[in-house]
A and B are shown apart, each in its own frame.
Chain A
Amino acid sequence: MNNTNENCALRLEHVSKTFGRILANRDVDLELRYGEVLALLGENGSGKTTLMNMISGIYHPDEGEIYIGGKRVVINSPKDSYKYGVGMVHQHFKLVDVFTAAENIVLGISEKGGFKIKKSIAKIKEICGRYGFQLDPEKKIYEMSVSEKQTVEIVKVLYRGADILILDEPTAVLTPQETERLFAVIRRMRDDGKSIIIITHKLHEVMAISDRVAVLRKGMHIATVNTADVTESELTDMMVGQKVSLNIERTEPVDPKERLTVSHLSLLNKEGVKVINDISFAANSGEILGIAGIAGSGQRELLETIAGLRVPAEGEIIYNDPKTNEKTDLRKKTPLQIRELGVRLSFVPEDRLGMGLVGNMDIIDNMMLRTYTGGRHVFLDRQPSKNLAEEIIKSLEVVTPGATTPVRRLSGGNVQKVLVGREISSAPSVLMAAYPVRGLDINSSYMIYNLLNEQKKNGAAVIFVGEDLDVLLELCDRIMVICAGTVTGILDGRTAEKKEIGLLMTKLKEAENDG
């Protein structure tokens, strides 16, 4: 790359960052020109946010250099990044609720001489007027809508004199109308000479707002192209990449029968927004059903609803008993009631230590979570759990000082082995696993795939929520793609194309209006 490129507001060269054994970014080169909107596109876990955090001083790169305005800089803290005119608006807002917008905006700025809030308010109004923000500086944060809070965050960055703005998934929380307004403001800022990076995985927004697109995949920079020169389908190709062969074993399903039938399932969240919208599918015995989708599309809620942790607004969840052929509606049943019905439903939740296990308890007591009610008398019987714990430690090669070690002391992979080991120990007839290999190294991941395959061979209906499309394509017999709480397609895992899934994951329907 040309070192004396003077129309570069920001340039990254060979930037790498690892977290433990996980490679977040590898050898990334990136270029942001003056007065342009650059979209940063990539799947979950492709390293977009990590990369931006290194520019805004939250992380420090392991290797590589950052140039701002052609000059080599070292950014050690967010304060440093402001010094160089870089400001980042995070996905989760960092505002003090009981303060006004103006107070939040000036918070943390040390100015010489006396401080007058009136002067600051005048400056805020001037910024708002220039770029067309609608903001009342004296309104308190807790009275604001999400979009207003976001405006405060952006103005905060501009107030500090940022010329390079980084917006991390700004549209995820906005309605289409609010998105339009945001885009208008972004265009005005660009015309004023600001350089803007916008992180997103909504393709139509990339097409609408950006001048150029940089695509990241698995921590690496794939390409930067002019938006006008590409189509959505080409971008999807770059984002998901060519199929990589992983050599995960996949056997033909033996005698698949409908084990779990979900029909017209809908779920409202606390705010009354539909997070699951009319989902219907069947999970068959002896088969792995994969669920693909951008994170937060309703995967977690779907599994929790089936497990009895959430009460659906509409729809049915029918369990077909393999022995008696009886049909049972699991809707509105608690996890305990489901178990009492004799339904062996196992669930490996996404939040391992916060939901699947108790971090401060040892392995034995964690084994007991599912079975402690067994036996007639009031006392616990620890012996079976102790045996199970020792068996799992041995067969799954859990690295631990002993069965009485609190699970929070174990590494991520070992925590997951303990959790999966417990969940499959009951010989489940339905096994649901949400992101079971997230954060795990290759060996542990393959062990988990093997365990899922084993359950499939034993005739369980396995539901696997994954984020790596290569894994989904090699492991699953069928893949259900969901986007914003709706099923956009159910494909055959053996014939599906990666690109096809990518498009189904990102393609928003016309009627779609929540994030």
Chain B
Amino acid sequence: MADTTKKKADKEPLFVVSKRAEMKFGKSLLVRVIAIAAALLVCGVLTLILTKNNPLTIFRTIVNGAVGNETRILETAYQTSILLIISVAVTPAFKMKFWNIGAEGQVIAGGLSTAVMMYYVGGTFAESFGNPLPAWAHTLLILIMTLTALLSGALWGVIPALFKSKWKTNETLFTLMMNYVAIQITEAVRVTINKGGSGKVDSSILVHGWFPKLFGKEYLLDIIIVLIITAIIYVYLKYSKHGYEISVVGESENTARYVGINVQKVIIRTMALSGAICGLAGLLIVGGASHSLDKNMAGGRGFTAIMVSWLSKFNPVVMIFSSLFLVFLQRGAKEVASAPGIGLNESFSEILTGILLFFIIGCEFFINYKVTFRKHTKEVTA
């Protein structure tokens, strides 16, 4: 027996990682604050060494770029709201452990049908009721745009869900491919609308069905709609029977079957909801802001949203802050790249963003696990 204990002591690791019980909210908040502070410190040192710039100038530029004046504040708020609504949209599916990476395509589907309605239905209305459209026709047009955006987004989400429940296809590949389908259809429609012209379908072509400006402020309507949807989904997931079913299916399909939940129905219903909200995001982008048809309208946010959703542990309220944080950094980074007198390009600010994210995601490890260092005592051999 003696020789085994000695052998064990030789191999004893330096530290042990063990899962910890739930950490108190205050303490976990402190860990996160420390993580951000550490990240900023590393960013600052790196800036100093690599670029010889004063890190404080860089930080100030980032803040200035994101919220420097009213236009920038509004733009940041709008960008945040779009990222937020897509994050909220993907959440029910991910909570159900349905690996939907097709939010991009679902957003495009919604935006595309919005643009189509603006161009064709808006055009017909203008011919019949006069240009500019009378108020009632304008309202009707926006209603039609909303309806079709919701439906086409839902359709884009339901198709992979149907295939999964009927033939057990892999939803990750399927939803990814649906993205490309949406992009190609958008390209085809764009070329069809602007035949012979520049090929661009912008605000000079999509002239009807623009969202009204609330209090004379651009994007404000979009932002309000997103906040309402966020609140609704928060309540839906936490307090509704549907939300409960989503949690049960996500945690254990066996349990769901055991209590008689129709798993296939829940999957299809939830994907329809997820897709519909993505479609709504497309509507907000095209009808509420860009007034143009562009295959890049989602701009990768369908993927970023997945990160936001997981980072916020599927809590829509937390997502407000996560998406704000990401957009803030993005916008600041743009400013760093273009501000005179710094002489840096966007790559450097992306490095900074990367460092911040690394620390923030990394600190989750210390919130969930405990690291105990072994006391290194010399083995006394008898």
Contact = CB atoms under 8 A, between A and B. Distances in A.
Interface in B82-121: none
B251 A361 contact: yes
B60 to A, nearest CB: 44
Interface string A341-376: 000000101010011111111000100111011000
B244 A368 contact: yes
B194 interface: no
A336 B260 contact: yes
Given A74-B1, A378-B241, A361 B259 contact: no
Contacts of A355: 252, 254-255, 258
Nearest to A304: B258
Contacts of A307: 258
Given A74-B1, A335-B258, A349-B258, A379 B251 contact: no
A261 to B, nearest CB: 22
Interface in B1-37: 1, 3-4, 7, 21
Contacts of A356: 255, 258
Given A74-B1, A379-B239, A372 B254 contact: no
Interface string B240-264: 1111110110011011011111100
A76 B4 contact: yes
B260 A335 contact: yes
A308 interface: yes
A187 to B, nearest CB: 37
Most buried by A among B21, B242, B257, B260: B260
Nearest to A310: B257
A117 interface: no
B251 A360 contact: yes
A309 interface: yes
B305 to A, nearest CB: 23
Contacts of A358: 247-248, 251-252, 255
Interface in A269-326: 307-309
Interface in A356-402: 356-361, 365, 368-370, 372-373, 378-380
Contacts of B252: 354-355, 358-359
Interface residues of B, number: 24
Contacts of A339: 260
A450 interface: no
A380 B258 contact: no
Contacts of A338: 260
A334 interface: yes
Contact of A372 (B241, B255, B262): B241
Contact of B257 (A74, A309, A360, A372): A309
Contacts of A369: 248, 255, 259
Nearest to B242: A378
A110 to B, nearest CB: 18
Nearest to B238: A380
Nearest to B3: A74
Contacts of A74: 1, 3-4
Contacts of B247: 358, 361, 365
B1 A380 contact: no
A300 to B, nearest CB: 12
Contacts of A354: 252, 254-255
B251 to A, nearest CB: 5
Q: Is the interface of B mostly helix, strand, loop or mixed?
A: helix
Contacts of B239: 379-380
A337 B258 CA distance: 12
A354 B252 CA distance: 7
A372 B4 contact: no
A308 B243 CA distance: 24
A423 to B, nearest CB: 11
B280 to A, nearest CB: 20
A79 to B, nearest CB: 13
A360 B247 CA distance: 10
A203 to B, nearest CB: 35
A55 to B, nearest CB: 16
Contacts of B1: 74
A74 B7 CA distance: 11
Contacts of B3: 74
A372 B242 CA distance: 10
B241 A380 contact: yes
Contacts of A370: 259
B244 A365 contact: yes
Interface in A155-182: none
Given A76-B4, A358-B252, A360-B251, A380 B262 contact: no
Interface in A463-501: none
Contacts of B257: 309, 335
Contacts of B21: 409
Contacts of B244: 365, 368, 372, 380
Contact of B260 (A308, A349, A365, A368): A308
A308 B262 CA distance: 13
Contacts of B262: 334, 336
Interface in B253-293: 254-255, 257-262
Contact of B240 (A308, A347, A379): A379
A357 B255 CA distance: 6
A360 B250 CA distance: 11
Contacts of B7: 76
Contacts of B240: 378-380
B61 to A, nearest CB: 43
B241 A359 contact: no
A349 B252 CA distance: 14
A380 B246 CA distance: 13
A370 B244 CA distance: 12
Nearest to B248: A358
Nearest to B1: A74
A278 to B, nearest CB: 26
A338 to B, nearest CB: 8
A337 B260 CA distance: 8
A373 B256 CA distance: 13
Interface string B30-59: 000000000000000000000000000000
B264 to A, nearest CB: 12
Contacts of B248: 358, 361, 369
A368 to B, nearest CB: 7
Given A358-B251, A359-B251, A361-B247, A347 B241 contact: no
A165 B84 CA distance: 61
Contacts of A379: 239-241
A347 B4 contact: no
Contacts of A368: 244
Contacts of B245: 372
A186 B2 CA distance: 38
Nearest to A358: B251
A223 B3 CA distance: 33
Given A355-B252, A380-B244, A334 B258 contact: no
16 contacts: A74-B1, A74-B4, A76-B4, A307-B258, A336-B260, A336-B261, A349-B258, A354-B254, A358-B247, A358-B255, A360-B251, A372-B241, A378-B241, A378-B242, A379-B239, A380-B239
Given A74-B3, A351-B254, 20 more contacts: A76-B4, A309-B258, A334-B262, A337-B260, A338-B260, A339-B260, A354-B252, A355-B255, A355-B258, A357-B255, A358-B247, A358-B248, A358-B255, A359-B251, A360-B251, A365-B244, A370-B259, A372-B241, A380-B240, A380-B243
Q: What 7 A-B pairs have minimum CB-CB distances, sorted nearest first?
A: A336-B260, A335-B260, A358-B251, A355-B254, A369-B259, A74-B4, A355-B258
